[in-house]
Structure 1
Amino acid sequence: MKVLHVCAELYPLVKTGGLADVCAALPAAQRSLGIDARVLLPGFAGVKAGVEPTGPALKLATRNAPPIVQALGPEVSIIPARLRGAGLPLWFINAPAWYERPGGPYLDEKDRPWPDNAERFALLGWVGAQLGLGGDPSWTPDVVHAHDWHAALAPVYLATTRRGPKSAGSVLTIHNLAFQGRFPGELWPRLGLPAALFGIEGLEFYGEVSFLKGGILFSDALTTVSPRYAQEILTPEQGFGLDGVLRRRAQALHGILNGVDYSVWNPATDAWLAQPYDLAQLDGKARNKAVLQRELGLAPRADAVLFGVVSRLTEQKGVDLIAPVLGDLVARGGQLAVLGHGDAAIERALEAACAAHPGQARLRDGYDEGLAHRIIAAADVILVPSRFEPCGLTQLYGMRYGALPLVRAVGGLADTVVDSSLEAIDDGRASGFVFHEATPAALDAAIRRAFALHRRGADWQRVQTHAMSLRFDWARAARQYGTLYDGIRSSSARLAS
């Protein structure tokens, strides 16, 4: 089985969130099961700097390509490479004018979307489809696996240009339905797709072009990153306008829970930490707490219940609920460490709330991979109060590091965290704290329960021990995807015969 993952992010080359972790860990886990998984990426500067080319550039003729691709010239090149050190085989698209820029992969240095994002990611989808159609004679995938809106045109181009039974099947994974890749309708003629597809039964969405809607309609199979999220997005509340389209394709929709790369997220071997630790030697966690308190200018209090946040600072993540409860959290003897960047109003509110409690709360703006590890290692509780959450990885990292997750009961958070009710503690299932309403009052009530459990040391230790012993490994997810790919390949063979 040969699988091409088409994605915009890959840890450690380029990362804005959990997508990068998934797109690195899933192919690696699949390769360990004998699946020949490879990756296609845009040639961002960070990608070029972190890979080793393994062969000459491969030219893709653009004679019959859509106008949006022809703008690059008569040929588009992709370069075969391997992830430096890890050896994961990949291609990157060599288009410096479109991909090698200051700022991030989607936003410029002032956090504004790049004005040509449609062109940049239509190219990614088109190249993914070309590889699925045999663009590299030495390796043609059985399945093209597109990740999120950035790659969602790959199944569309693949389906509308298939050239026989050897064409690859397709899977689209929806990592977050809120991000759909919507662009002005004037873009349509430049995509080179059949005119009839720009309508309500195609990629049109309230007069715009929706890359994600196209991927949903034209992929052979759809997945989300947790079972619960696969059900939630079929509802108007969490369907973001696409719930009707998704309900039409419900039979093709599968919820497969993400995993954790425990070679990266392991407190016993984590090079970012001041002192490694594990279940057998938990003293190191206290040491990491003391070091982080010094690093962030928090009071050096071993008895403080330290709450950590590592998140995009957006309404989706529920972090706007934190500032209103911070005063009570500190009054009860807690501390707060926040790492993240996002909505300016939420940042300002959090910054003001932290400033009102010097030595007890600190916001570090931006993202720092090492600091993310150190906060999770130091925290007693990791806060993930999301309004919606397709899967969430932070709560899984927290459990492995002995930071009990405090989460809202949505998506993958509900699938993975068991509330510390008396009965769940008694039968050994409890692994964190779960609340339901997206309000400061509900969050505050869950925080109070965390303090109450922390005061009962033996019970806290039981829950922490259970949480640290849980494993959400990628091998399980890789096997589930393998079964899905087999079904797609079998269906393609039946249609071809």
Structure 2
Amino acid sequence: MARRIKRVLSVASECAPLIKTGGLADVVGALPAALEPLGWKTKVLLPAYPGLLQKIGRGTRVWGDENLFGGPAAVVRGKIDGLNVLLLDAPHLFDRDGGPYSAHGHDFHDNHVRFAALSWVGAQIALHGTKDKWKPDLVHAHDWQAGLVPSYLRYAGSQIPTVMTVHNIAFQGIVGADQLDYLRLPSWDFTPESLEYHGLLSTLKAGMVHASRLTTVSPSYAQELTEAHFGFGLEGVVKARRDRGELAGFINGVDVSVWDPATDPEVVPYSALDTSGKAENRQRLLQEFSLAEPTGPLAVVVTRLTYQKGIDLMVEALPGFLERGGAVAILGSGDADYEAALGDLAARYPGQVGLRIGYDEALSHRLYAGGDIVLVPSRFEPSGLTQLYGMRYGTIPVVAATGGLRDTVCDATPENLAAGIATGFTFGDAYLGGTIDAGGLSFALGRAIDLYGDAEAWSQLRHTAMNAPVGWEQSATQYAAMFDNLIE
């Protein structure tokens, strides 16, 4: 007898390759393909931001509402790069200049309404299906933007299981309690045990409380979120779900068909078996950033320039690295003070520091292909994909030992190097009594420089990193097992 195809509706605010501001989009875009061989077929519901309907070509209208939080809306079904998508076409909410959440450096004032609408539509499709008779067996909601999906389903009395994944608990979708009625939420459930967050409404908390299961994007992050330092006021919710056996941490993977130095159209091809092309990529990157040939390793940075990402630690630690013969190429944007500080660093070390403010997906591939090491000194990092891209491209990660960074990078200690399991350099492991600071980053960079001087040892480290499993196979199996358990 043929195996029944099980259906999951994934609700998110972004999804690669359609719209991306960070790692959330990569996860939402890659997980469906990994789940399909395991019997789960996904449709991804996301807003029809400007230009997205054109990207999917001729779509089919499968849902409609004349008054979705202030205007008419429709859901259009389409397909792109093998991904089945449902685009919420609501021009009064999503057809505007800027990014998904902001324009000209300011968040849209009605973000809570925009993503409540997305959540409402996700719940309606789960409850009633689409016009072409598609109805999910399970709903997977991502971050605060989809946090109200489990709540709307709970209030409707639905038994459809829901999974809420917290990609970054620092963003919680907080709005005033006076918005409860407008967001179609019951005032009777505005309690500390449910919707209330210090007198306000948190859509992330709503999803964390009401979902059938709560997941995070790495085992270490799941543990960290039970602690006040990482939980951002929601550690009590996380502890309660953990104590009931309803919390899991599944490490993110990368789409290895997209992130493959052997087939990447942006780079000179190479592989773990033949890394000769990497040297050519390195030379091209030096030229692109107007850098001189360094005597030490070429570091690359691809990141948002924020406090979370440890940019201040980098600014403090990099001079010592540069004075020992290193060089660095940086791609990122964010806090104006950090942009200025990195600009000052580039001015102080001409020919050793290259800086591009902004984001460029193609350039990020060239950075991973051309670098010797990639810096990820984050103060907290739920999962992290940067270190996985680096490993895949033989660019050795230097990371803070937190969250998913701790779970994916094996420190290059003498013992791990001898055992052939080292994949990078870590510092500040809180579980071992360490702290994430500039001194720890400086020490890790010094270790990297020392090992780089041993060509044979460095080659072995790079080979191990490139062969490390960074795809979705293991985590997709864990997700599928959880999904199966919930519908059974």
State the TM bucket, normalised to the shorter chain.
over 0.9
Question: Is contact 2:161–2:212 with CA below 8 Å preserved after alignment?
Answer: yes
Say if 2:138 is the partner of 1:133: no
Question: Is contact 1:322–1:350 with CA below 8 Å preserved after alignment?
Answer: no
Say if 2:192 is the partner of 1:200: yes
Partner SS for 2:412: coil
Query: What is the correspondence of 1:121-270 to structure 2 with a 5 Å cutoff?
Result: 121-137=115-131, 138-163=133-158, 167-250=159-242, 251-270=245-264
Question: Is contact 1:355–1:362 with CA below 8 Å preserved after alignment?
Answer: no
Q: TM-score, normalised by structure 2?
A: 0.95
User: Hey, what's the Cα distance between the residues in 2 that align with 1:206 and 1:336?
Assistant: 43
Say if 2:18 is the partner of 1:19: no
User: Hey, what's the Cα distance between the residues in 2 that align with 1:287 and 1:457?
Assistant: 17
Query: What is the correspondence of 1:347-362 to structure 2 with a 5 Å cutoff?
Result: 347-362=339-354
Q: Which among 309, 314, 336 is matched to residue 317 of structure 1?
A: 309
* Sequence identity (%): 44
Question: Is contact 1:337–1:361 with CA below 8 Å preserved after alignment?
Answer: yes
Query: What is the correspondence of 1:299-318 to structure 2 with a 5 Å cutoff?
Result: 299=292, 301=293, 303-318=295-310
User: Alpha-carbon deviation of 1:227?
Assistant: 0.7
- Equivalent residue number for residue 494 of structure 1: none
One-letter amino acid matched to 1:445 = F
Say if 2:72 is the partner of 1:78: no
- Equivalent residue number for residue 467 of structure 2: 469
Q: Which among 259, 264, 274 is matched to residue 281 of structure 1?
A: 274
User: Hey, what's the Cα distance between the residues in 1 that align with 2:89 and 2:148?
Assistant: 19
Unaligned runs of 5+ in 2: 1-5, 429-434
User: Hey, what's the Cα distance between the residues in 1 that align with 2:130 and 2:378?
Assistant: 42
Q: Which moved more, 1:196-205 or 1:304-313?
A: 196-205
- Equivalent residue number for residue 493 of structure 1: none
User: Hey, what's the Cα distance between the residues in 1 that align with 2:137 and 2:212?
Assistant: 12
Question: Is contact 2:70–2:92 with CA below 8 Å preserved after alignment?
Answer: no
Partner SS for 2:180: helix
Question: Is contact 1:133–1:162 with CA below 8 Å preserved after alignment?
Answer: no
User: Hey, what's the Cα distance between the residues in 2 that align with 1:70 and 1:313?
Assistant: 34
Q: Residues 20-59 of structure 1, C-alpha deviation per residue, up to 9 Å, x if partnerless?
A: 1000000121123331111101011142232134423522
Question: Is contact 2:62–2:130 with CA below 8 Å preserved after alignment?
Answer: no
Label 1:393 to 1:70 Cα distance change in 2 as closer, same or farther (>3 A).
closer
Say if 2:290 is the partner of 1:297: yes
One-letter amino acid matched to 2:484 = D
- Equivalent residue number for residue 44 of structure 1: 49
User: Hey, what's the Cα distance between the residues in 2 that align with 1:457 and 1:480?
Assistant: 38
One-letter amino acid matched to 1:467 = A
User: Hey, what's the Cα distance between the residues in 1 that align with 2:396 and 2:7?
Assistant: 39
One-letter amino acid matched to 2:109 = P
- Equivalent residue number for residue 94 of structure 1: 89
User: Alpha-carbon deviation of 1:405?
Assistant: 0.4
Aligned residues: 474
User: Hey, what's the Cα distance between the residues in 1 that align with 2:24 and 2:69?
Assistant: 29
Question: Is contact 2:296–2:452 with CA below 8 Å preserved after alignment?
Answer: no
User: Alpha-carbon deviation of 1:210?
Assistant: 0.3
Q: Show structure 1 runs of 4+ deviating over 4 A.
A: none
User: Hey, what's the Cα distance between the residues in 2 that align with 1:246 and 1:467?
Assistant: 33
Say if 2:487 is the partner of 1:489: yes
Q: Which among 447, 451, 454 is matched to residue 453 of structure 1?
A: 451
Unaligned runs of 5+ in 1: 63-68, 491-497
User: Alpha-carbon deviation of 1:61?
Assistant: 6.3
Q: Which moved more, 1:401-410 or 1:183-192?
A: 183-192
User: Hey, what's the Cα distance between the residues in 1 that align with 2:446 and 2:51?
Assistant: 43
Q: Residues 310-342 of structure 1, C-alpha deviation per residue, up to 9 Å, x if partnerless?
A: 111111111221111222111111001111111
One-letter amino acid matched to 2:436 = A
Partner SS for 1:395: helix
Over aligned residue pairs, what C-alpha RMSD do you find?
Answer: 1.3
Q: Residues 400-443 of structure 1, C-alpha deviation per residue, up to 9 Å, x if partnerless?
A: 10100000110110101111111110111111000002211111
- Equivalent residue number for residue 495 of structure 1: none
User: Hey, what's the Cα distance between the residues in 1 that align with 2:475 and 2:264?
Assistant: 23
- Equivalent residue number for residue 431 of structure 2: none
User: Hey, what's the Cα distance between the residues in 1 that align with 2:254 and 2:287?
Assistant: 29
Say if 2:324 is the partner of 1:326: no
User: Hey, what's the Cα distance between the residues in 1 that align with 2:343 and 2:69?
Assistant: 47
Question: Is contact 1:286–1:302 with CA below 8 Å preserved after alignment?
Answer: no
Question: Is contact 2:61–2:74 with CA below 8 Å preserved after alignment?
Answer: no
Question: Is contact 2:392–2:470 with CA below 8 Å preserved after alignment?
Answer: no
